[in-house]
Amino acid sequence: MLKPLVETLVAPSVFRRTDDGLLFVAFPRAAFGTLIIPLAARAEPFTLTVHLGEKLDAQGRLDRQPPGTIRYRCVTQTVVAGETLCRLVIPPDARNTGPAAIRMPAAIGEVMPFRYAEIESAAELDHADIRQVAVHYPFDDDSSDFSCNDEVLNAVWDLCKYSIKATTFCGVYVDGDRERIPYEGDAYISQLGHYGVDQEYDFARYSTAYMISHPTWCTEWHLHSVMMAWMDYLYTGQVDALDPHYEALRAKTLIDFARADGLISVDPALRTPEMEARLEPHFASGIIKRDIRDVVDWPPGSFTNGGTGERDNHEMRPVNTVVNAFHAHALRLMARIAAVLGRNADQRLFAGQAERVMSAINATLFDTDRGVYIDGEGSQHASLHSSMFMLAFDLVPAARRPAVLAFVKSRGMACSVYGAQHLLDALYLNGEAEHALQLMTARHDRSWWNMILEGSTMTLEAWDWRYKNNLDWNHAWGAAPANIIPRYLLGVRPLEPGFAKVLIQPQPGSLVWARGRVPTNRGPIGIEIRNEPGLPFVLEVEIPPGMTARVGLPCGGPVGHGITLDGRPVPAEAEGSFLYIDGVSAGLHCMTVISVPPAGLEPVEADVG
């Protein structure tokens, strides 16, 4: 059950008088909220004028003409005679209070994101007691933690963790402040980030249910609903959110758009009468939007200099590789959902259809000469997206992975902040931790570091203003490292629903050390990694009660390596460049990669406490 939103009062970090007589106030971070201003009582009513915003100008003053949809508002408010404390009332904004927008609770009132304030006629104000009223969902800041030897990555973690917290201000995942509309693609990244930074699951569950019945127009966004529902079950172990939405989730796999080979297209021109008959009930109920259309990534020709967008020049064909990769992934997840609910016939149907789609993609949408996936049926172009989504969803045959990975790495960050989630998924799932680390710690203008340099304390909607001219500075779909760091760099992912069994497989790349605390529904998992060049790799873990772990340690290759657990050599299973030990029990453990495994090891008990 959702908890009420809370208000946190935040003290200023800076205040000063300006040359033109205003009181300038800065807070540590931007937040969605309003301002509380202490006043000296006056005998007559007077008008208070306050300027609020997210950005500074070149002179270090509040930017009153920021680019894009970076926020600035001038608020005037009548203060009644004798009043000594003013809570600023934010006027509604037509851009984010439309019919589809999530409204703020009346008890809290309207909010806006701001970090800076300039107050007119402020000579009598007691500036020390001014407070930013930050509105957000209840959040335990101590539930998670991360630090390492790379200060850029530490700053990126702090930026992304805070972004998840701050953007819960509506009580449902929304697309930042411009529209305040829940979008499934945005919400999936927020959901994973929320799981990575707080022991909180109801917020994501409510958001998933809301979007199942309030879908947006994007083809892939419909498919994200299945992904969100599965993640809810995987992280919580609770089935009660699956069964009530089963038929809607089935429709959102888009299986009813399939042609004979399993591939789908939402192009109305390709729909047969039989397909239209299958789809009409979904359109009529609103589970699938009638105007459903493919997105791939942020499109060209809208709000970008030069009109290039963030699709890496992806050619939008009616039968689209990215869309069908999502479709195959959703079918696999739907097969698992059906199995959990005991719908065995459906499980076989979805699993079989997933294999059919994967086979069709690999037969018709792969360029064997170049070793890449083309953008769609009839296309000659190969974008980053067509290959990275195939890798992220484990749809690439093993023999093809080296060539596909090489192509993906060659494209750099040729995707939006949304695409970055799936690019990093693809890299870590395919053993490219160092390339992923370099992307997360990059200092160019397509990086999280650039967001920090721009002056934002929440993740941006795009890498930079010039890549999306209407970007906002408070968009959690840009906060992928909030989940990528705990899930892959620290390596904590549920193997069994509700974390009955957990995978701990750290991938620190070239980091010398890293430590963190990862929340789970059974309590936090503590991780400490020592990865000094020339020394054995060491992992210390603290596993909460009621959980067992499969632990994988990077060794650069299994030959000539072994593992000690709490000082004892133990048998390890080699897989790729990792050595695994299974059945590690709750408690504090230290594991070390040794260079020469001892001979004649005897199996140990699974519960190696």
pLDDT digits (tens, 9 = 90+) for 368-417: 999 999 999 999 999 999 999 999 999 999 999 999 999 999 999 999 99
Higher pLDDT, 561 or 460: 460
The pLDDT confidence band at residue 125, using thresholds 50, 70 and 90, is confident
State the residue for tokens 């008959």: 277
The pLDDT confidence band at residue 606, using thresholds 50, 70 and 90, is very low
Measured distance CA(433)–CA(429) in Å, rounded: 9
* C-alpha gyration radius of the chain: 26
Contacts (Cβ under 8 Å, ≥6 apart) of 155: 449, 452
Report the pLDDT value the prediction gives residue 256, as an integer from 0 to 100: 98
Is it the case that residue 182 has pLDDT exceeding 90?
Answer: yes
Q: Residue 503 in contact with residue 491, Cβ under 8 Å?
A: yes
Report the pLDDT value the prediction gives residue 605, as an integer from 0 to 100: 41
Bridge partners (DSSP) listed for residue 540:
528, 590
Measured distance CA(527)–CA(206) in Å, rounded: 30
Q: Residue 344 in contact with residue 378, Cβ under 8 Å?
A: no
Could you give phi then psi for residue 236, rounded to 5 degrees? -110, -25
Report the pLDDT value the prediction gives residue 306, as an integer from 0 to 100: 55
Largest CA distance in the chain: 91
The pLDDT confidence band at residue 307, using thresholds 50, 70 and 90, is low
Measured distance CA(487)–CA(503) in Å, rounded: 9
Bridge partners (DSSP) listed for residue 549:
502, 584
Q: Residue 555 in contact with residue 579, Cβ under 8 Å?
A: yes
141: enclosing H helix or E strand? none
> Which amino acid, residue 153?
L
The DSSP output letter for 268 is G
Tokens of 149: 């030897």
Report the pLDDT value the prediction gives residue 609, as an integer from 0 to 100: 40
Q: Residue 480 in contact with residue 490, Cβ under 8 Å?
A: no
Q: Residue 513 in contact with residue 143, Cβ under 8 Å?
A: no
* Residue among 442, 221, 431, 234 nearest 326 (CA): 221
- pLDDT > 90: percent of the chain: 88
Nearest-10 crossing angle of helices 321-340, 219-236: 30
| DSSP reduced 3-state for 285 | helix
- pLDDT > 70: percent of the chain: 95
Could you give phi then psi for residue 501, rounded to 5 degrees? -135, 140
The DSSP output letter for 603 is P
For 426-459, write each residue's pLDDT tens digit: 999 999 999 999 999 999 999 999 999 999 999 9
The DSSP output letter for 574 is E
Measured distance CA(203)–CA(194) in Å, rounded: 9
Helix segments in 341-468, DSSP class H:
344-364, 384-392, 401-410, 417-429, 433-440, 448-454
Mean pLDDT value across the chain:
94
Q: Residue 181 in contact with residue 100, Cβ under 8 Å?
A: yes
| DSSP reduced 3-state for 88 | coil
Report the pLDDT value the prediction gives residue 128, as an integer from 0 to 100: 81
Is it the case that residue 597 has pLDDT exceeding 90?
Answer: no
Taking residues 553-577, report their average pLDDT: 86
Is it the case that residue 88 has pLDDT exceeding 90?
Answer: yes
Measured distance CA(537)–CA(513) in Å, rounded: 10
Domains of the chain listed by start with CATH number: 6-136 (2.60.120.260), 141-488 (1.50.10.10), 497-594 (2.60.420.10)
Q: What burial letters (b/e) apply to 67-103, b meaning 16+ CB within 10 Å?
A: ebbbbbeebebebeeeeeebebebeebeebeeeebbe
Measured distance CA(234)–CA(236) in Å, rounded: 6
The pLDDT confidence band at residue 309, using thresholds 50, 70 and 90, is confident
For 325-366, write each residue's pLDDT tens digit: 999 999 999 999 999 999 999 999 999 999 999 999 999 999
Is it the case that residue 598 has pLDDT exceeding 90?
Answer: no
The pLDDT confidence band at residue 555, using thresholds 50, 70 and 90, is confident
539: enclosing H helix or E strand? strand 538-543
Q: Residue 163 in contact with residue 459, Cβ under 8 Å?
A: yes
Report the pLDDT value the prediction gives residue 600, as an integer from 0 to 100: 47
The pLDDT confidence band at residue 303, using thresholds 50, 70 and 90, is low
Report the pLDDT value the prediction gives residue 1, as an integer from 0 to 100: 85
Is it the case that residue 604 has pLDDT exceeding 80?
Answer: no
* Residue among 66, 76, 184, 149 nearest 114 (CA): 66
Taking residues 136-150, report their average pLDDT: 98
Q: Residue 187 in contact with residue 228, Cβ under 8 Å?
A: yes
Is it the case that residue 547 has pLDDT exceeding 80?
Answer: yes
* Residue among 156, 159, 176, 158 nearest 167 (CA): 176
Q: What burial letters (b/e) apply to 113-148, b meaning 16+ CB within 10 Å?
A: bbbbbbbeebeebebeebbbbbbbbebeeebbbbeb
Report the pLDDT value the prediction gives residue 299, as an integer from 0 to 100: 87
Taking residues 18-37, report their average pLDDT: 95
For 456-514, write each residue's pLDDT tens digit: 999 999 999 989 988 999 999 999 999 999 999 999 999 999 999 999 999 999 999 99
First to last CA, the chain: 36
For 220-272, write each residue's pLDDT tens digit: 999 999 999 999 999 999 998 899 999 999 999 999 999 999 999 999 999 99
Report the pLDDT value the prediction gives residue 603, as an integer from 0 to 100: 41
CA quadruple 210, 211, 212, 216: dihedral sign? positive
The pLDDT confidence band at residue 127, using thresholds 50, 70 and 90, is confident
Tokens of 388: 């990275």
Report the pLDDT value the prediction gives residue 560, as an integer from 0 to 100: 67
Measured distance CA(373)–CA(396) in Å, rounded: 10
